A and B are shown apart, each in its own frame.
Chain A
Amino acid sequence: GDSVTQMEGPVTLSEEAFLTINCTYTATGYPSLFWYVQYPGEGLQLLLKATKADDKGSNKGFEATYRKETTSFHLEKGSVQVSDSAVYFCALRLDADKLIFGTGTRLQVFP
């Protein structure tokens, strides 16, 4: 079935370090791909999305490129801040209306 696999966390970084959180997917069709972020005590917020192959989603310094050949949608940021500490979820959406989420990756950034 359709699924999303994320790297396990926590990912621990120093401020201004480079971030990569890996995400790969399995889907029978051509999904749209999303990254959501969850800050402590809050619900998930959409961070960025890409709807077709080779699209790059970006927001707040985060980027992810839809790679059909490797079925991946890795999240990157060039210089993380303490305020980026959160749980990041990769998700896909096919023809149906529901999202399929990965298990989430916790990011901890220290000053």
Chain B
Amino acid sequence: DAGVIQSPRHEVTEMGQEVTLRCKPISGHDYLFWYRQTMMRGLELLIYFNNNVPIDDSGMPEDRFSAKMPNASFSTLKIQPSEPRDSAVYFCASSPGGGNQPQHFGDGTRLSIL
């Protein structure tokens, strides 16, 4: 079975550019999570969706960040304009339900903003 698929795996771009990260969750999973991982701050939850609806975006750092889930099989995380401090590994995860259901992670997008 296909797992959570993220693209691109690596992104290098210059400060000020728009960055779009993509995620395809596991089919049938109705929860989708976006995380950011850095050495300094560890793993941070940015936003999560249930049935394509954003439930909690309190972790989104600022207005430059936005996330959408137009349908059950696709989500994007956009940064506009990007800044060097946004450099991190961004993970998408999905789960088949809340509570005790485990989250399944993608392999992440390593983002470098120059």
- A contacts, CB < 8 Å to B: 32, 34, 41-46, 49, 51, 89, 93, 96-99, 101-104
Contacts and interface: CB of A to CB of B under 8 A. Distances in A.
B106 A43 contact: yes
Contacts of A41: 107
Contacts of A93: 99-100
B43 A104 contact: yes
Contacts of B100: 32, 49, 51, 93
Given A43-B106, A46-B102, A97-B31, 8 more contacts: A43-B107, A44-B91, A89-B43, A96-B98, A97-B98, A98-B33, A101-B43, A103-B42
Interface in B82-114: 91, 93, 95, 98-100, 102-108
